[in-house]
Amino acid sequence: MGAWVLHVDLDQFVAAVEVLRRPELAGLPVVVGGHGDPTERGVVSTASYEARELGVGSGMPLRIAARKAPDAVFLPVDKPAYEAASADVLAVLQTWPGGVVQVLGWDEAFVGLDADDPEAAARGIQAAVLETTRLHCSVGIGDTLIRAKVATGFAKPRGVFRLTEANWMSVMGERPTKELWGVGSRIAARLETLGVHTVAELAAAPEDVLVAEFGPKLGPWYGTLGRGEGDRDVDDTPWVARARSRETTFQEDLDEPAAVEAALRDLTAAVLGDVAEEGRPVIGLTLKVRYAPFDTKTHARKIAETADPDEVLAAVLGLAADRLDPDRAVRLLGLRADLKMPEDAREPRTPGRGGW
């Protein structure tokens, strides 16, 4: 028997849920985002494979998506429906014999298993998920969480792929660093300034060079990513949210300070409603602003631990007064409230930064 990490990732999850509810959409380009109206401001939450082939991707403004896929079906986000479907999938994974499940989000989870044939186990999980929920998934198999997560990219759609120490470099070595879990385009660009372009170069990069660029936690972590190493044990300790956040895209730019303040008050009230459900005090704030036409900035501040809504609101307004430009029109506002963590909370597996 061997210890394996399986990364189970539902294929085009949100779009797939919508197609289950509307079978006539099968095979069509489907885009889910905002209120489902591409003439409004908003971004793509997910797109079906057919829409992706036309150049539509998550995070893309809906108006651009409509230009790339003018015949696509646009649908509004229906969070309760996706949460219900996600719970059904999780129930299948949690009843898998011998499995230890670590939830990553709506549409993905790690499953730790002891198995002689991990591919057979992966196919069994795929079949069980499909039978119970009518949803397809891809499964990456690895000897670490990182390798399993990366392997899923090669498994999509509806497939199984194995990445281990034995084939990590032959598969990943010459690929660009941005194909690694946790390395986006900005980090990849910073790595390029160090002469690091590929996964193999990142794996071989001197730790002191990475520390000098990214700090004592993230520097070594990026080296670990390059080697595909890291944790091998799946942790089923319930996840406790580090923060609660919300953001609002305005259909018309806010160009008056009074309108911005009113929007901040509404946003803070919404976030505080979420915070109240957690029952823990706020210890930090991050304010996100997108100025017209599309210039995004974030501003963070630690605050004295408090559960008083009035104190949090005062801190938000103070941060805005100090950091927002009153002469620029505002397209979007977002607020993240960092929460005090319980002593027994699961530590994050990566030292990545919080916020947006």
The angle subtended at Cα 240 by Cα 234 and Cα 241, nearest 5°, is 120
Closest CA to 288 of 321, 256, 247: 247
- Torsional sign, CA 45, 96, 150, 20: negative
Burial group, residue 157, by CB count within 10 angstroms (0-12, 13-18, 19+): exposed
Instruction: Please report, as a single letter, which amino acid is at residue 123.
Output: R
267 membership: H or E segment, kind and range: helix 257-278
How far is residue 346's CA from residue 60's CA, in Å, rounded to a whole number? 33
280 membership: H or E segment, kind and range: none
Question: Is 108 annotated in the active site?
Answer: yes
Residue with tokens 């996840």: 239
* Phi–psi pair at 241, nearest 5 degrees: -60, 135
How far is residue 265's CA from residue 269's CA, in Å, rounded to a whole number? 6
Sheet holding 160-163, edge to edge: 100-105, 108-115, 2-10, 137-142, 160-163
Is residue 109 within 8 A of residue 86, CB to CB? The reply is no
Is residue 16 within 8 A of residue 113, CB to CB? The reply is no
Catalytically annotated residue among 18, 50, 108, 201: 108
How far is residue 138's CA from residue 143's CA, in Å, rounded to a whole number? 17
**What residues are annotated to the active site?**
108
